[in-house]
A and B are shown apart, each in its own frame.
Chain A
Amino acid sequence: MSSTAVPRPKPWETSASLEEPQRNAQSLSAMMTSNQQDSRPTEESNNSNSASESAPEVLPRPAALNSSGTYGESNTIPGIYGNSNYGIPYDNNPYSMNSIYGNSIGRYGYGGSYYGNNYGSFYGGGYGAGAGYGMNNGSGLGESTKATFQLIESLIGAVTGFAQMLESTYMATHNSFFTMISVAEQFGNLKEMLGSFFGIFAIMKFLKKILYRATKGRLGIPPKNFAESEGSKNKLIEDFQKFNDSGTINSNEKATRRKISWKPLLFFLMAVFGFPYLLNKFITKLQTSGTIRASQGNGSEPIDPSKLEFARALYDFVPENPEMEVALKKGDLMAILSKKDPLGRDSDWWKVRTKNGNIGYIPYNYIEIIKRRKKIEHVDDETRTH
């Protein structure tokens, strides 16, 4: 807007009517340090000279400033100072003044926001607490969602349990398989050991026979076929060679062994497939017993429709405790759910379900039990004709 060559005239030089800004500027100069005050007069004299030169151009401005310059517009002064090039002391001091104002304004603003935050948070907290209180006491939405989440949780738990069961079954099968393998390996080792043992035994026997023959009966053991082997020493050697070369005798043994070698395989297969089957049976049994126990824990036995007994009301019954008892009209039909009290003891008050679906307790001497299914139809016909 303004250049170094043509500085803008100061407001108090061009217009005497702006008294308030002038006072502000004087207070500004009072706040300056002595050093800045020393430098000020020289600059002012320069500026006044330049202002007098360029006065005709900028003269119309003060009138506009005057017309719009209301009482509170003193803060336009720092802006004018800041934009012009009066020098460092002038430039700095209006800004410092401005910063003081700004600081104070900021402080007020901060105070306002502080109070606002405080009250706001207080009211917000109070409202939140009230809402929480309502949620906890209300047995409607909160309870139902809670139950739903519990159901979901239990479902996830069941699925996880099932997955773990499958995994453990797999691990058990795996382990049993490797156990079988190791057992078979051990049997193989045993067979080898026995074979080598008997091989050694045969050699020992053979050596003893040789010894007996060499010492003419003083050491070793006499061979069974002494009379024969006396004449034919070669036959024994042939037998031994046959045994070692797995000749005719061994081939017969092998055939029989191959025949019975299906047994362990069958046993192994049975173990592999039968073990999970037995495990499954066991688990289902456990589950059924668990469900029965759980339902009994709720105070109601599992209802078996085929064994369900029906009864007919002999008299009207007005419940004294409507929460636990159920109303009866004479001739009403009902299903007897339980002849026991919630603790499982025999009771004179039975739990029934009426035709309306209401479940409650009634005195046993107000009803008569209908014995058979045919009789129910008969009674139904009776009630219909009446």
Chain B
Amino acid sequence: RPPRPPPKPLHLRTE
């Protein structure tokens, strides 16, 4: 039911 979260900005990406 929850929507897909929007694309992560650079500072939140783990890689």
On A, residues with C-beta under 8 Å from B are 314-317, 320-321, 324-325, 341-343, 347-349, 361, 363-366
Contacts and interface: CB of A to CB of B under 8 A. Distances in A.
A363 B6 contact: yes
A348 B11 contact: no
B6 A324 contact: no
A360 to B, nearest CB: 10
B9 A321 contact: no
Interface in B1-15: 1-3, 5-14
A347 B9 contact: yes
A348 B7 contact: yes
A349 B14 contact: no
Contacts of A365: 3, 5-6
A361 B8 CA distance: 10
Interface of B: 1-3, 5-14
A321 B14 contact: yes
Among B2, B8, B9, B12, which residue has the most Cβ atoms of chain A within 10 A? B12
A317 B6 CA distance: 13
Nearest to B6: A348
A365 B8 CA distance: 13
A342 B2 contact: no
Nearest to B2: A315
B6 A325 contact: no
A349 B5 CA distance: 9
B9 A349 contact: yes
A342 B11 CA distance: 8
A317 B10 CA distance: 19
Given A321-B14, A363-B6, 16 more contacts: A315-B1, A316-B2, A317-B2, A317-B5, A321-B13, A324-B12, A325-B12, A341-B10, A342-B11, A347-B9, A348-B9, A349-B12, A361-B12, A365-B3, A365-B5, A366-B5
Nearest to B7: A348
A175 B9 CA distance: 57
Contacts of A325: 12
A247 B5 CA distance: 98
Contacts of A321: 12-14
A128 to B, nearest CB: 40
Given A320-B14, A321-B14, A341 B9 contact: yes
A305 B1 CA distance: 34
